[in-house]
Chains A and B, each alone.
Chain A
Amino acid sequence: MTGARLLRYLLWRLLQAVPVILGVTVLCFLMLQLAPGDLAEVLAGESGGASPGYIEELRARYGLDKPVLVQLLIYVKNVLFFDLGFSFRHNADVTSLLLERMVPTLLLMGSTLLISVGVGALAGLFAAIWVRTWRDHLISLAAIIAYATPLFWVGLMLILVFSIWLDWFPTSGMENVVMFYEGWDRVVDIAHHLVLPAVTLSLFYMALYTRLMRATMLEQRGLDYVTTARAKGLTERQINFRHVLRNALLPVVTMAGVQVGALLGGSVVVESVFAWPGLGQLAFEALFSRDFNLLLGIFFICACLVVVVNILTDLVYVLLDPRIQVDR
Chain B
Amino acid sequence: MKITRRTLAGLAGVVLAAATFGNGALAQKQGGTLVMLVQPEPPTLASYLSTSGPIGMVAAKIYDGLLEYDTELRPQPSLAESWEVSPDGMTISFKLRQGVSFHDGKPLTSADVQFSIMDVAKVTHPRGPNTFLAVTEVQTPDDHTVVLKLSEPAPYMMMAFSGYETPIIPKHIFGTGDLRSHPNANNPIGSGPFKFTEWKKGQYIRLDRNENYWKKGQPYLDRIVARFIADPSTRTAALEKGEAHFAAMGAVPFNDAKKLAAIPSLTVTTKGHEMISPVSELLLNTKNKPLDDKQVRQAIAYALDRQFIIDNVWFGYGKPATGPMSSNFAPSGLYTGDVKNYQVGGDKGVEMANAILDEAGYKKGPDGVRFELMHDSLPYGQEWTRFGEYVQQQLGKIGIKVTIRQEDVARWLKRTYTDHDFDTTANYLYNLSDPVVGVHRAVHSSTIKPGTVFTNGSYWSHPKTDELLDKAKVEPDPQKRSALYAEALKFVAEEIPIIWIHEMNFPTVINNQFEDVIVSALGVYSNFDRAYMK
Measured CB to CB, the nearest residue on chain A to B243 is A171
Q: Are B229 and A172 in contact (CB under 8 A)?
A: yes
B504 to chain A, nearest CB (A): 13
Residue A163 lies at the interface, judged by CB distance under 8 Å to chain B: yes
Contact with A along B422-447 (1 / 0, CB 8 A): 00000001100000000001000000
Residue A221 lies at the interface, judged by CB distance under 8 Å to chain B: no
Q: Are A52 and B452 in contact (CB under 8 A)?
A: yes
Q: Are A36 and B414 in contact (CB under 8 A)?
A: yes
Measured CB to CB, the nearest residue on chain A to B40 is A285
Q: Which residues between 253 and 287 of chain A lie within 8 Å of chain B, taking CB atoms?
A: 271-278, 281-282, 285
What residues of chain A lie closer than 8 Å to B7, measured between beta carbons?
none
Q: Are A42 and B452 in contact (CB under 8 A)?
A: no
Q: Are A49 and B441 in contact (CB under 8 A)?
A: yes
Which of A21-29, A125-133, A173-181, A210-218 lies on the face that meets chain B? Answer: A173-181
A180 to chain B, nearest CB (A): 8
Q: Are A177 and B227 in contact (CB under 8 A)?
A: yes
Residue A91 lies at the interface, judged by CB distance under 8 Å to chain B: yes
Residue A30 lies at the interface, judged by CB distance under 8 Å to chain B: no
A35–B50 CA distance with the chains assembled, in angstroms: 24
Contact with B41, one of A48, A50, A273, A285 (Cβ below 8 angstroms): A285
A282–B228 CA distance with the chains assembled, in angstroms: 12
Q: What size tier do the contact residues of chain B reach?
A: 35 or more
Q: Are B413 and A275 in contact (CB under 8 A)?
A: no
A272 to chain B, nearest CB (A): 4
Contact with A along B168-184 (1 / 0, CB 8 A): 00000000000011100
Q: Are B52 and A48 in contact (CB under 8 A)?
A: yes
Contact with A91, one of B41, B186, B204, B410 (Cβ below 8 angstroms): B186
Measured CB to CB, the nearest residue on chain A to B186 is A91
Contact with B along A126-165 (1 / 0, CB 8 A): 0000000000000000000000000010001001100110
A47–B129 CA distance with the chains assembled, in angstroms: 14
What residues of chain A lie closer than 8 Å to B35, measured between beta carbons?
177-178
Contact with A289, one of B130, B180, B410 (Cβ below 8 angstroms): B410
A282–B201 CA distance with the chains assembled, in angstroms: 9
Contact with B453, one of A41, A92, A177, A275 (Cβ below 8 angstroms): A41
Q: Are B51 and A281 in contact (CB under 8 A)?
A: no
A64 to chain B, nearest CB (A): 12
Q: Are B231 and A37 in contact (CB under 8 A)?
A: no
Contact with A along B397-413 (1 / 0, CB 8 A): 00000000000111101
What residues of chain A lie closer than 8 Å to B238, measured between beta carbons?
171-172
Q: Are B234 and A90 in contact (CB under 8 A)?
A: no
A281–B229 CA distance with the chains assembled, in angstroms: 11
A-B contact count (CB 8 A): 182
A248–B289 CA distance with the chains assembled, in angstroms: 67
Q: Are B410 and A42 in contact (CB under 8 A)?
A: yes
A170–B237 CA distance with the chains assembled, in angstroms: 10
What residues of chain A lie closer than 8 Å to B202, measured between beta carbons?
100-101, 104, 275-278, 281-282
Residue B389 lies at the interface, judged by CB distance under 8 Å to chain A: no
Q: Are B203 and A173 in contact (CB under 8 A)?
A: yes
What residues of chain B lie closer than 8 Å to A91, measured between beta carbons?
43-44, 46, 181-182, 185-186
Whether A44 touches B201, Cβ cut-off 8 Å, given contacts A49-B453, A281-B230, is no
Q: Are A88 and B227 in contact (CB under 8 A)?
A: no
Q: What size tier do the contact residues of chain A reach?
A: 35 or more
What residues of chain B lie closer than 8 Å to A50, measured between beta carbons?
126, 452-454
What residues of chain B lie closer than 8 Å to A182, measured between beta carbons?
none
Q: Are B418 and A277 in contact (CB under 8 A)?
A: no
Which among B185, B237, B417, B429 has the highest number of chain A CB atoms within 10 Å?
A: B237
Q: Which residues between 178 and 228 of chain A lie within 8 Å of chain B, taking CB atoms?
A: 178, 180
Residue B487 lies at the interface, judged by CB distance under 8 Å to chain A: no
Residue A241 lies at the interface, judged by CB distance under 8 Å to chain B: no
Measured CB to CB, the nearest residue on chain A to B416 is A45
Whether A49 touches B201, Cβ cut-off 8 Å, given contacts A89-B43, A91-B186, is no
Q: Are B430 and A48 in contact (CB under 8 A)?
A: yes
A44–B52 CA distance with the chains assembled, in angstroms: 9
A56–B451 CA distance with the chains assembled, in angstroms: 9
Contact with A54, one of B40, B126, B441 (Cβ below 8 angstroms): B126
Whether A86 touches B181, Cβ cut-off 8 Å, given contacts A38-B410, A91-B186, A277-B201, is yes
Residue A46 lies at the interface, judged by CB distance under 8 Å to chain B: yes
Residue A55 lies at the interface, judged by CB distance under 8 Å to chain B: yes
B134 to chain A, nearest CB (A): 14
What residues of chain B lie closer than 8 Å to A159, measured between beta carbons?
233-234, 237
Q: Are B44 and A89 in contact (CB under 8 A)?
A: yes
Residue A12 lies at the interface, judged by CB distance under 8 Å to chain B: no
Residue A97 lies at the interface, judged by CB distance under 8 Å to chain B: yes
Q: Are A101 and B413 in contact (CB under 8 A)?
A: no
Q: Are A41 and B418 in contact (CB under 8 A)?
A: yes
Q: Are A172 and B237 in contact (CB under 8 A)?
A: yes
Residue A306 lies at the interface, judged by CB distance under 8 Å to chain B: no
Contact with A171, one of B237, B413, B452 (Cβ below 8 angstroms): B237
A243 to chain B, nearest CB (A): 46
What residues of chain B lie closer than 8 Å to A38, measured between beta carbons?
410
Q: Are B229 and A170 in contact (CB under 8 A)?
A: no
Contact with A49, one of B43, B51, B410 (Cβ below 8 angstroms): B51
Whether A46 touches B180, Cβ cut-off 8 Å, given contacts A54-B126, A91-B186, A171-B237, is no
Whether A41 touches B413, Cβ cut-off 8 Å, given contacts A49-B441, A90-B201, is yes
Residue A230 lies at the interface, judged by CB distance under 8 Å to chain B: no
Whether A273 touches B410, Cβ cut-off 8 Å, given contacts A50-B453, A51-B127, is no
Q: Are B413 and A42 in contact (CB under 8 A)?
A: yes
Residue B119 lies at the interface, judged by CB distance under 8 Å to chain A: no
What residues of chain B lie closer than 8 Å to A289, measured between beta carbons?
43, 409-410
Given A46-B53, A49-B453, A275-B230, 20 more contacts at CB 8 Å?
Answer: A36-B410, A36-B411, A45-B454, A51-B130, A89-B43, A97-B201, A101-B201, A159-B233, A164-B240, A167-B241, A171-B237, A172-B229, A173-B204, A177-B33, A177-B206, A177-B225, A274-B231, A275-B234, A281-B202, A282-B201
A-B pairs with beta carbons under 8 Å apart, 29 shown: A37-B411, A42-B410, A43-B43, A48-B430, A49-B126, A49-B453, A49-B455, A50-B126, A50-B452, A50-B454, A51-B126, A92-B186, A100-B200, A104-B202, A171-B237, A172-B231, A177-B203, A177-B227, A272-B231, A273-B233, A273-B234, A275-B202, A275-B228, A275-B230, A275-B234, A277-B201, A288-B408, A289-B410, A290-B410
